[in-house]
Chains A and B, each alone.
Chain A
Amino acid sequence: MQPRDLYTKVEDFLSDESFQRWVRFKENHTHWEEWTLESPERAKLVQEARLWIVSMKIEDTELSEQEVQISLQDTWQTIGSFQERKSIWRTHWFRAAAAILIIGAATTAYFLLQRNPTHTVITYKDLVEKDTEGLIEQTNNSNKPQLITLADASSVLLQPKSKLSYPKEFSGNERKVYLSGEGFFEISKNPSKPFYVYANEVVTKVYGTSFRVIAYPTQPNVEVVVRTGKVKVMPNEEIQSDTQEGIMLLPNQAARFVRNNLSFEKILDITQDKPLIASTNTIEQLSFEFRDIPVQQIFTTIEQAYLVKIEYPQEKLKDCYMTTSLSDEPLPEKLKIICESLGSDTRYEMNGNQITIISTGCN
């Protein structure tokens, strides 16, 4: 007895691959012909099933051996590039991003008056001179914030009358930059390579976050405000402070470093702290949470936040909508995410403050 002896419906035959082969290619290894002729009942069913098969042909195209091999190579290549990226994201990069705000304020005049000879004053100049790497210095002499992109794809908005020194490449296990004045930092996430901002006597250590540092040489305090994530703030190791090991800040907490007695105070309610409230800038007020928003509007928001110009094919992108969260990404990462979401043939070029989007539209 064979399974087919129990077939009672056309469907039973249709799903039998050997039956299909017999009908289509006349392969008769399993003696369908003889079996059919054994009973007239069977012959009727078989005849109907045959008609079904003849009516349901699917024209499949076999890919050429060459096409298969090219496609396989492509796939291994993509895997290779993903494994690289994955190792960056998995092992080095924090998933959770932090956002902090650091505000420093010090009046040199005030500070110098209060100055106690046992205290150390650390200036931007001291800091930069100690660094042996070739540093690049940017000074913003204009009256608008100026955008700086660092080698690790972090971005910094440098306020007027402020200076930033940073290496061309971040070698070694640390990323260190030096600030005088005020800057809004958005740091690419990399836990194996912490990012340090040296500003006056305060060192802010982060792994990947965005934050504001205001440390003018002429103001009495340095303040640090965390929006999301975790940040460590500590005094520069060259000075003696009662909080030598530094303090950890959680979202919506802040610390104020008082330069004349070299101590930290923790601010638990930033909404009640007048100097902090006054210090928020445009970029912190703009939301980067977009839900079904035309891409033009997203570009406009970026232009406002970073004071850049974005050129894009307006006609081609006019019907493109996006839902995305870009809050904790540095500018290059924001642009990359937008381009990737628009389609594989979209990319951006950045030349100083001028960004050009090259796109054929969102497919």
Chain B
Amino acid sequence: MYHTSKNTEKISDSILWAQLIADDQNAFSMLFEKYLSPLVNYGKTLMPSHEKVKDCVQDVFVDIWLYRHSLSEDVVVKAYLFSSVRKRIARLYERDRIFRQTTSLEDLEFSVRFSIEHQLITDETMELEVQQLNQLLNALPPRQKETLYLRYHQGLSLEQIAEILDINHQSVKNLLQRAILHLRKEWKGTISLLLMFSFVTS
């Protein structure tokens, strides 16, 4: 069932990866087809241009093929790909910075809007709660948002996120905890106020 399918998926990723390292073009194409969309979607949270992001993802795959013989067989493919795309985009910004001669190098800024699954809302109270939480989520600092995204949307582990963001494992844990604690605290506060208010007016 779910877990088995997840396992086979993981195994097949690493099998494809090993085949790719052993010069299998087909394995390369399969990984490409599987990951192009997720990687473009991820890249677009860091850089708005669809075409540029796609170019970056393609470049990552070009390098993978050209340097396949120096790749480690022992990687989590998905995390490796995410990390490579992120680095590639960061480099592009770095290059742009050289040309524009801006004074400060801002970190890559993760920008995505969390939206609401409206069709899953069953009643007004839930709608109120969800709206509040959604607003708080979107107001989080970019780093925290990105961590949440990678952990819960992409299902990556703390170690993998640490690798992608190039920070240590403990920092990822802290980022996540801080985000969730903050959200819960703010959320409960506003929610109880709002609920009281709606109770009084109704």
- Interface set of A (CB-CB < 8 Å, partner B): 10-11, 14-15, 17-18, 20-21, 23-24, 29-30, 50-63, 68, 71-72, 74-75, 78-79, 82-83, 86, 292, 319-323, 341-342, 362-363
Q: A250 CB to closest chain B CB, in angstroms?
A: 33
> Which residues of the partner chain B approach A20 to less than 8 Å between Cβ atoms?
152
A29's partner among B1, B29, B126 (CB-CB below 8 A) is: B1
B200 on the interface (CB 8 Å rule)? Answer: no
Q: Cβ of B134 and Cβ of A55 under 8 Å apart? A: yes
The interface bits of chain B over 173-186 (1 if a CB of A lies within 8 angstroms of the residue's CB, else 0) are 00010001000100
> Which residues of the partner chain A approach B129 to less than 8 Å between Cβ atoms?
51
Nearest chain B residue, comparing its CB with the CB of A3: B3
> Which residues of the partner chain B approach A68 to less than 8 Å between Cβ atoms?
32-33, 36-37
B99's partner among A11, A29, A74, A319 (CB-CB below 8 A) is: A319
- Known contacts being A51-B129, A56-B137, A78-B58, is A71 close to B36, with CB within 8 Å? yes
Most chain-B CB neighbours within 10 Å: which of A21, A52, A53, A320? A52
Q: Cβ of B114 and Cβ of A58 under 8 Å apart? A: yes
- The contact sample of 28 A-B pairs, CB cut-off 8 A, is A17-B2, A17-B6, A17-B155, A21-B2, A24-B120, A51-B129, A51-B133, A55-B116, A55-B137, A56-B152, A57-B115, A57-B117, A58-B41, A58-B114, A58-B115, A61-B41, A71-B36, A71-B54, A71-B57, A71-B58, A74-B58, A79-B62, A83-B66, A319-B99, A319-B101, A323-B98, A341-B95, A362-B100
Q: Cβ of B101 and Cβ of A75 under 8 Å apart? A: no
Size range of the chain B interface in the assembly: 35 or more
Nearest chain A residue, comparing its CB with the CB of B6: A17
- Interface set of B (CB-CB < 8 Å, partner A): 1-3, 6, 29, 32-33, 36-38, 40-41, 54, 57-59, 61-62, 65-66, 95-96, 98-101, 112-117, 120-121, 126, 129-131, 133-134, 137, 148-149, 151-153, 155, 176, 180, 184
Q: What CA separation (Å) do A240 and B137 show in the bound complex?
A: 86
> Which residues of the partner chain B approach A17 to less than 8 Å between Cβ atoms?
2, 6, 155
New contact pairs (9) apart from A60-B38, A68-B33, CB-CB < 8 Å: A10-B184, A18-B2, A18-B3, A51-B130, A54-B116, A57-B117, A61-B41, A63-B40, A321-B101
Q: What CA separation (Å) do A363 and B52 show in the bound complex?
A: 11
Q: Cβ of A72 and Cβ of B29 under 8 Å apart? A: yes
Q: What CA separation (Å) do A11 and B54 show in the bound complex?
A: 32
Q: Cβ of B116 and Cβ of A57 under 8 Å apart? A: yes
- Known contacts being A23-B120, A24-B120, A362-B99, is A63 close to B114, with CB within 8 Å? no
